[in-house]
Structure 1
Amino acid sequence: MGEFYGNQHTGATDDGDYADLQEAVLAYAAENGEAPTTEEAANDDRFPSLNTIDKRLDRGWNDLLEDVGLERGQPEAYGPEETAEMLQDLRAVQQAVESDHLTSRQYAERGAYGDDTIKERFGSWREACERADVDAGKRYGVSCEGPQGATLDSRLELAVATALHERDVVYEVHPEVPETNWTSDLYLPEVDLWVEVNGFAAGERPNEADFERKLDHYEREGLDCVVVEGAEELVTEIRARRAGQ
C-alpha cells in the first residue's frame, strides 16, 4: 500500500523564518510602493538567497504576498514595460528549482506573476520560456494523453490513470490543492483521496524539498493523500477504503 499522509499537523517551515520573509516583503512594499518580484527580492539585502526563500515558503511566493495583505498581479494590470521583468522572473524561478527546465506548475508555485499571466502575455507557456531562454520541459518523463483525454506528465501517471479508468473509478487530473498554488497528480472524489505518483528513488526526485512541503501541507490541512509508485498500490488503497466505508 502506498505511503499515507493526512491528519498529522506538522509544520513545513520554521515560523520565525516565514515571519522574517513577511517582514521583508512589507518593508520592501512600504519603500517601493509595490510588492517585490522574486527577482527583486533576490537582489535586495532584506532577503536571503532564492534557494533559501524557496525553502522557507510553505506554498508559493504569491501566497506569501497574500498573507501580508498584498494582492497578486492580474494580467490586465501589466503593461509592455513589464515584459522584461517577467522574463527575468522566469529565469530566477528556473534557477531556484534547480532543474534543467521549468514547467508552468513549478512557476505557479514560486513565480511573482502567476502562470496564467505569463501565458496571456506571451501567448503560450512554451513561447514565454523560449523568450526567457529557459527550457519548457515537462515535470519529468514525457507527457501522455490519458484514457479520458487529459494530459498526464509521465508514463507512470498514465499507467495509474489507465488502471483507474479500467475499474470505472472516477478521478480528476491535476486538480488544485485547496488554498495553495500546488496541484495534485490525481484526486479521487469517491473516497476523498489525493494521489501523488512518485516513481523516483529516494533523493532523485526533481525539487524534492518542494514535494515534501506539499506533503506537509496535506497533513496540516487534514487532507488524505497517498503517495504511490504504481497502479497496483493505488488499487489496493482504494479497495481498503471501500471496504472500510
Structure 2
Amino acid sequence: MDILPAIDLKDGKAVRLSKGLMESAKIYSDEPWQVAKKFEELGSKWLHIVDLNGAFKGSPANLEQIKKIRENCNLKIELGGGIRDEETIKMYIKLGVDRLILGSIAVKDPQFVKNMASRYPIAVGIDAKDGMVAVEGWAEVSNMKATELAKEFANAGVEAIICTDISKDGMLCGVNVEFTQSIALASKVDTIASGGVKDISDIVNCKNNGNVSGVIVGKAFYEGTIDLEEAFKVL
C-alpha cells in the first residue's frame, strides 16, 4: 500500500478544503513546491496534486506552481483537476507528471477515459456524496452510483481508482474504508482511499484491508495530527 501526501492548489497556494467547499479553503503555504520537498524528505514516493481552480474551470489553472513542484522534487506525481482532453494530458506528460487523474470526464464520457488509458498512465477519480458521484469540482451531484461508475472501468486499463467520500474530506473524521472497499470490489482495479484521514490508525486500518492499495493524506499532515515519517515506517 502507498501513502500519497496531497497538495491542493488554489490561486497558486497550497490549501485544504472542508467537504470540497472552495470558500472553506485554508492556506497552508504560499510555496507549494517547498511542501512537496518536505514530503520527499519524510520518505514519500508519491505526490497527489489537485488543481482546484482547474477542476471548477475545466482547464489547467495552476500551471506555474505545478512546474515548480516538478522541477524541485523527484517524487512520482499524480495530478487531477480540469483535465478534459488529450492535449492537456499530453502537456502534463511532457511536463513530467507521472499519472493523470480523470474525474468529471469519466462520468460524461467513459469511452474517452478508456481510450486515454490505453495510451497514457491514467487514474480515475470517483468522488461521491451519499454514494452518488459528484462532478465539476464537486459542485454537482449526479444520479449515478459510485459503484456503477467503478464497474465501468473494470478491465479498462486504468492504473488506479481514487475514491473520495466528500462528506469526510478535510474533516479529520476517519477514512470511509467500506466505501473504498465497495469501489475496489466493483472495479477490480487498485483503489486509493481519499478523504477523512486523521491519524496513524487510519493508515493501519487501510493497510489491514487487502482491497485498499493506497491512501491519500492531506489535512492530517497540515494540521499535525499524523506523523508522516512514522506512517511510512508502518508500511
TM-score, shorter chain, exceeding 0.5: no
User: Larger strand proportion, structure 1 or 2?
Assistant: 2
Of structures 1 and 2, the one with the larger relative CO (CA 8 A, separation 6+) is 1
Computing the radius of gyration from Cα coordinates, the structure with the larger value is 1
Structure ranking higher in helix proportion: 1
TM (norm. structure 1) is 0.30
